[in-house]
Chain A
Amino acid sequence: MATTKCIRNTEDIMRVILGNTNEYHGEAREIVTDSELAFLPELALGIVEKLNGTLQFIFAEDNRSQNNAFSLHHVFSIPSHRCMLHVMSEIPADTPEFPSLALRLPSANWHERKIADMLGLTPVGHPDPRRLVLHEDWPEGLYPWRTDFDQTQAVPRVEGTYMFHKIDGEGVFEIPVGPVHAGIIEPGHFRFSSVGEKILYLELRLFYKHRGIERFMEGRSLLEGAIAAERISGDETIANAVAYSQAVERALGLAIPERAKRLRAVLLELERTHCHLADIGGAVTDVAFAVGAAKAAILREKVLDLCERISGSRFMRGMIVPGGLRRDLNNRAVLQVANFIEVELCAVQELESSIFSRSSIVDRFTRTGSLSAEHALKLGVVGPIARASGVPVDARINYPYGFYTMYPLGLITRSEGDVASRVKLKFDEIRQSLAVIKAALDGIEQGAIYGDDEATIIHSQALGWVEAPRGQAICWVEITETSKIAQCRWRTPSFSNWPALPLALQGDIVPDFPLVNKSFNLSYAGNDL
């Protein structure tokens, strides 16, 4: 993680990567480099085109009190070198703007708009300069992530309208949906432009649930940070807490004991199992297959019940902390999990065959909501959605951490990219998750669950990442000398995947929207933060 001097092109990057020998306990590396704003567009394109890297995350912070500049961070992942490349550049305080990458790298779109909203930095050349996170009633010129923003002052509501994209033409009409939806789900606004039943265009308007979590984390203790991370998105409790904890552990150079690594993997995979079962149940509900939905709900309830028995919380809250685990699983709990896997595996097989043996379901699932590999790649889609479209991304394999450095996990992909392939992939992943749990418990030994190393701050900042049920979540943490969180930024899988939903829907009919949306299963809370 050594910082090197300014990089200008891909040759510099290769030199940095090959010259970097910093290993972090056998896990994938984070390589931090400096660059300048002027080199960024060329650099980013070079990484994506020549090194087959992906733009994962762009964020910024207000450093004006220290060096009279904002700092801009670009995070690329380079799977061929198993590393995260973290490029930092400075934006002088008197010219608050930076070159936009969004036109050539569409995955930069939302990241840059979020930076513009929260810090008032203008992405020059951005094709869509509208607000993203802050809604129209937020006053102009107030930037909540700037250090001079007064957090005690009430923010007035101002008049304003959000300019939706207008699709004109004979017979084109708009269907506004939300923010309050018909089911028991989270709020978000969708605006369909359609001709008859065919969807021409779907525009998303999210961030109704913006709670200011990244701002909330500033100045909190490391334990409070873990508690907050658990509450970013309900069914990604463990995943987000592990991403945060790994970032802190990397910053502090903490090694966690092997028992904690194994148990973290168990908890992560249990979470993936119940999250995927909820998705499958939701998808079959939307094609009116009530029996399958009931079966999936019962299976999921069993997983949640197991989680409650072993951890005291159905969503396994209060388990993860930087350095290891907050509480151990006793032998009885380990045995319960091991026994559970065998039973669950049979039931999952049965559910899969009962779903895919019905032609009416297969008919609705096949070629609905197709997302091409090209689109998925360009938008930086992650997780099961990317894998169902044939894009081989899985943080557990590409950038391994914890137990996954010891366990050879096979990459599961499918090529069709439709609802059927996403549902089938989730079944495969449940089976894989149960196998991982089995392997993690097989060689488990008694021992410490919390590393009692002296925590010395070796880096003031680090990235942590995890393959959450919805895809790769990335957390960046900066730690103060007094072991508090200075800043924290999140890139959740939902933030990457939401922009792909309108593309998957093109050419489909409006009644297929719930089905496609459910097969994507994106978190609103995790996106809005």
Chain B
Amino acid sequence: MRKFRCKRICRPKVTIKDLDRRPPSYADRWAPMLAGNGCSGCMACAEVCPTGAIAFNNSGQILFKHDACIACRACTDLCEPGVLILGPGIGGAVTRSELSYVGSTDKASADEPAIRPLKTPGPSKTIKIFAKSMHVREVDCGSCNACELEIAAISNPVYDAERFGISFVASPRHADVLFVTGSVTRQMELALNKTMAATPSPKLVVAVGACACSGGLFGNTQFAGAGVDASIKVDIYIPGCPPSPRAILSSIRGLQRGTITRSEHDHSR
């Protein structure tokens, strides 16, 4: 009876086993990628991108900055050879440079992957301090509310984050982890700093969504900042506009199991 109910409520996609088996980089289709060779290097995608998430360098490589990508699909709609498609993006990462991927515009050899990370993650220290119990405080610093809705969704009966020991708390004083969304607007910066100060150490900061990772569409103006790491140190970046509940959960699961590692640093300064 119990098994039946569980199946009925939970879509088969997101059972615990599946989440654990899935690499932490899993996210549902939201980022542009090269689906093979044949990119003509016309740079139309880089020109149309409203957030500058696609760039070309001198050696004929195409650079995808997943921290800035809002998956608006302006580039994939425009791609003349049709090799730029919206594919599975990447999930959480510990530095912004790990969110950048390169692809080759030349006719590369068939066994070379169409896109690969710009930088291989350097040596970093695995931490699992909140592996079994993670209390999260969410701080909205200027998102469009889609990220909040998706974060709230991970604690609904379908995704049920509580089964992984993840629960949302009402005060930063009770929190281990801060989920920060939005590009940090001018008028929220003070509130974010106060929330950060009120959270006891050790703590982790997770930037959720494109705005939090890079400033996103509206960032880098006098009103909206350049992302969370312009104000406070960020431990995990979860890109997406918005990242789906699955992407958020799998990234957090990666952190809990130590498959997302983070370099050692101290928030207590």
Contacts and interface: CB of A to CB of B under 8 A. Distances in A.
Given A228-B50, A231-B217, 4 more contacts: A180-B195, A183-B168, A184-B138, A297-B158
B222 interface: yes
B241 interface: yes
27 contacts: A151-B221, A155-B222, A179-B191, A180-B139, A180-B195, A182-B171, A183-B168, A186-B143, A187-B140, A187-B188, A208-B187, A209-B140, A209-B185, A210-B186, A210-B187, A211-B185, A216-B221, A227-B74, A227-B217, A230-B72, A231-B70, A298-B9, A305-B11, A314-B244, A318-B72, A524-B140, A525-B142
Contact of A318 (B28, B71, B224): B71
B108 interface: no
Given A208-B188, A211-B224, A308-B28, A231 B182 contact: no
A228 B140 contact: no
Contacts of A230: 72
B151 A228 contact: no
Contacts of B74: 223-224, 227
B179 to A, nearest CB: 8
Contacts of A185: 140, 148
Nearest to B77: A326
Contacts of B142: 208-211, 525
Nearest to B150: A314
Contact of B218 (A231, A301, A314): A231
Contact of B191 (A208, A298, A301): A208
Contact of A231 (B144, B153, B185, B188): B144
A194 interface: no
Q: Top 8 closest A-B pairs, CB basis?
A: A234-B146, A182-B170, A212-B223, A297-B156, A234-B145, A211-B218, A211-B224, A184-B152
A343 interface: no
Contacts of B242: 234, 314-315
A193 B219 CA distance: 36
A96 interface: no
Interface in A195-243: 207-213, 215-216, 220, 223-224, 227-228, 230-235, 237
A523 interface: yes
Interface in B44-96: 48, 50, 70-74, 77, 86
Given A231-B70, A297-B157, A298-B157, A186 B185 contact: no
A465 B42 CA distance: 38
Interface in B128-163: 138-153, 156-158
Given A231-B241, A297-B158, A209 B146 contact: no
B221 A184 contact: no
Among B50, B145, B148, B150, chain A packs the most CB atoms within 10 A around the CB of B145
A301 B140 contact: no
Nearest to A154: B222
Nearest to A144: B222
A187 B190 CA distance: 12
Among B30, B139, B187, B195, chain A packs the most CB atoms within 10 A around the CB of B187
A184 B158 contact: no
A248 B149 CA distance: 29
Contacts of A297: 153, 156-158
Interface of A: 135, 144, 151, 153-155, 179-180, 182-187, 207-213, 215-216, 220, 223-224, 227-228, 230-235, 237, 278, 294, 297-298, 301, 304-305, 308, 312-315, 317-318, 326, 523-526
B29 interface: yes
A523 B218 contact: no
Contact of A212 (B145, B171, B224): B224
A525 B185 CA distance: 11
A317 B71 contact: yes
Nearest to B10: A298
Contact of B72 (A155, A227, A305): A227
A235 B148 CA distance: 10
A524 B141 CA distance: 11
B182 A294 contact: no
B100 interface: no
B183 interface: yes
A187 B149 contact: no
Given A209-B182, A297-B157, A525 B145 contact: yes
Contacts, number: 154
Given A228-B217, A298-B157, A308-B28, A234 B187 contact: no
B94 to A, nearest CB: 24
A294 B8 CA distance: 14
Contacts of A207: 187
Contacts of A208: 142, 185, 187-188, 191
B251 to A, nearest CB: 17
B89 to A, nearest CB: 12
Nearest to B219: A211
Nearest to A524: B145
B146 A315 contact: yes
B185 A235 contact: no
A227 B139 contact: no
Contacts of A223: 48, 74
A231 B222 CA distance: 18
A326 B242 CA distance: 19
Among A208, A211, A237, A317, chain B packs the most CB atoms within 10 A around the CB of A211
A220 B140 CA distance: 27
A454 to B, nearest CB: 21
B184 to A, nearest CB: 10
Contacts of B145: 186, 233-235, 523-526
Contacts of B191: 179-180, 187, 208
A281 to B, nearest CB: 8
A134 to B, nearest CB: 8
A405 B116 CA distance: 51
Given A212-B224, A314-B244, A184 B168 contact: yes
A117 to B, nearest CB: 12
Contacts of B29: 312
A465 B107 CA distance: 48
Among B70, B138, B183, B223, chain A packs the most CB atoms within 10 A around the CB of B223
Given A216-B221, A294-B156, A227 B70 contact: yes
Nearest to A293: B156
B50 to A, nearest CB: 5
Contacts of A317: 71-72, 241
Contacts of B218: 211-213, 216, 228, 231
